[in-house]
């Protein structure tokens, strides 16, 4: 059974980040941006800001208790003669360090951004990743790789809004269900530890690449949340099983020539491929089971005990999707990595 109506409640109650936190996130970004614009050193260099990542894509989910969510924004800055790329990140960091309020908050530098952490509220923390975004004299639009002191991409321009448009089109093709599917898969990763080390942008790209103009020709293929979830994950499973043991090339779907190959390893990929294979089979079992109670139990096997449709009995808390690999083998959460 699909339990389609319950999926809507499950998303609202357990998965989606509540609107009040999103509203507060937006106000925090505005406040940080205004503080940087007012800075006496870099304020005149700042020309705008652009949300990036899960925030504008509407893919942020609730963190675990005592966890945190993050949001990225591009800080648009004019090119400065004589500045090496890494200096832009260093100067944004210095501006926060000079500020009366933000200097007292935990903050630091990653490879491609400056991060600013907020104290938890009701057990939920938040941090911002501020990504300098530069338009070079030749018109190229680039971000900074502080570790290499270089521009990214090396050639051409990055298109931060292209990925957002791509996600939006996937949502249109799936009757508004693609974003819900991604949030559910992010929840599964968070709640069940199914494929740790797979970054959000990689997961979104892999799921979205299975949604095409052709696949959307069938009007029933993405008709509701569980149907869209099943078909997208099964299509992803078919794709991954055909790839072999080496991770596939993962170009940025915005077409700017960048890619996400550096965001995961072959070992992380293999763990992900194996977990998706099991999950796809279990989704099919839950979807095809005609008995409401048995179907609810099968869905709970995938999403955990919090998936509890009216009238069902909660399933066992045992986790069939936890990776067998040590945590260090499937990815790093170091702050030296790229935001997002």
Q: Is residue 5 part of a domain?
A: no
Residues 321 and 197 occupy one common structural domain:
yes
> Do 198 and 118 share a structural domain?
no
Asked whether residue 90 falls in the same domain as residue 170, the answer is no
* Residue 1 lies inside a defined structural domain of this protein: no
- From 112, 132, 158, give the residue that closes a domain: 158
Answer yes or no: is 26 within a domain: yes
Question: What is the pTM (predicted TM-score) of this model?
Answer: 0.87
Residue among 287, 275, 212, 265 at smallest CA distance from 240: 275
> What pLDDT does residue 329 have?
36
pLDDT reported for residue 66: 80
Phi-psi region of 260 (alpha: psi -120 to 50; beta: other; left: phi over 0): alpha
Report the half-sphere exposure of 184 (CA within 13 A, side-chain side). 28
Q: Is residue 137 part of a domain?
A: yes
Domains of the chain: total: 2
Angle of helix 200-208 versus helix 160-173 axis, rounded to 10: 50
Q: What is the pLDDT along the chain (340 residues), one digit of tens a residue?
A: 999 999 999 999 999 998 999 999 999 999 999 999 999 999 999 999 999 988 889 999 998 888 888 899 999 999 999 999 999 999 999 999 999 999 999 999 999 999 999 988 887 889 999 999 999 999 999 999 999 999 998 888 988 889 999 999 999 999 999 999 999 999 999 988 888 889 999 999 999 999 999 999 998 999 999 999 999 999 999 999 999 999 999 999 988 888 899 899 999 999 999 999 999 999 999 999 999 999 999 999 999 999 999 867 654 445 555 544 433 333 333 333 333 3
Please give the Cα distance from 88 to 46 (Å, whole number).
Answer: 11
Residues 143 and 185 in one domain: no
SS3 per residue for 285-319: HHHHCCCHHHHHHHHHHHHCCCCCCCCCCCCCCCC
E-strand stretches of the chain: 46-52, 68-78, 107-109, 114-121, 124-135, 141-145, 150-152
In the chain, helix, strand, coil percent, each to 5? 45, 15, 40
56 and 110, same structural domain? yes
CB proximity list for 334: less than 8 A, separation 6 or greater? none
CA terminus-to-terminus distance, the chain = 35
Structure tokens at 200: 């959000």
Give the bridge partners for 49, in sequence order: 75
Q: Say if residue 146 is in the same domain as residue 254.
A: no
Give me the domain span that covers residue 176.
162-330
What is the per-residue pLDDT for 320? 55
Closest CA to 15 of 53, 71, 63, 58: 63
Which position has the token pair 């996600």? 167
- Let me know whether 100 and 245 are in one domain: no
Residues 69 and 98 in one domain: yes
Residues 285 and 198 in one domain: yes
């Amino acid at each position: 059974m699909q339990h389609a109506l319950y999926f809507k409640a499950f998303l609202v109650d357990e998965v989606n980040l509540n609107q009040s936190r999103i509203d507060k996130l937006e106000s925090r970004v505005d406040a940080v941006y205004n503080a940087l614009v007012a800075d006496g050193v870099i304020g005149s260099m700042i020309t705008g800001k652009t949300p990036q990542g899960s925030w504008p894509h509407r893919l942020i989910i609730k963190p675990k208790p005592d966890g945190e969510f993050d949001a990225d924004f591009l800080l648009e800055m004019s090119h400065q003669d004589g500045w090496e790329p890494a200096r832009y990140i260093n100067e944004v960091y210095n501006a926060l360090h000079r500020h009366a309020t933000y200097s007292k908050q935990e903050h630091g530098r990653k490879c491609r951004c400056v991060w600013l952490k907020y104290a938890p509220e009701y057990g939920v923390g938040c941090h911002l990743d501020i990504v300098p975004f530069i338009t070079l004299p030749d018109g190229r639009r680039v971000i900074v790789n502080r570790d290499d002191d270089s521009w990214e991409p090396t050639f051409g321009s990055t298109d931060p809004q292209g990925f957002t448009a791509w996600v939006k089109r996937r949502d249109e093709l799936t009757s508004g269900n693609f974003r819900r599917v991604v949030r559910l898969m992010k929840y599964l990763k968070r709640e069940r530890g199914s494929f740790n080390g797979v970054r959000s942008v990689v997961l979104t790209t892999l799921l979205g690449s299975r949604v095409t103009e052709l696949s959307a020709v069938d009007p029933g293929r993405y008709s509701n949340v569980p149907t869209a979830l099943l078909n997208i994950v099964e299509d992803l499973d078919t794709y991954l099983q055909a790839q072999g043991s080496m991770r596939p090339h993962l170009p940025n779907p915005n077409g700017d020539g960048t890619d996400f190959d550096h965001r995961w390893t072959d070992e992380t990929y293999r763990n992900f491929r194996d977990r998706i294979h099991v999950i796809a089979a279990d989704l099919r079992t839950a979807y095809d089971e005609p008995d409401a109670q048995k179907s609810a139990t099968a869905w709970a096997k995938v999403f955990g005990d919090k998936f509890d449709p009216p009238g069902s009995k909660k399933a066992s808390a045992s986790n069939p999707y936890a990776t067998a690999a040590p945590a260090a083998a499937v990815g790093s959460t170091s702050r030296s990595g790229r935001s997002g």
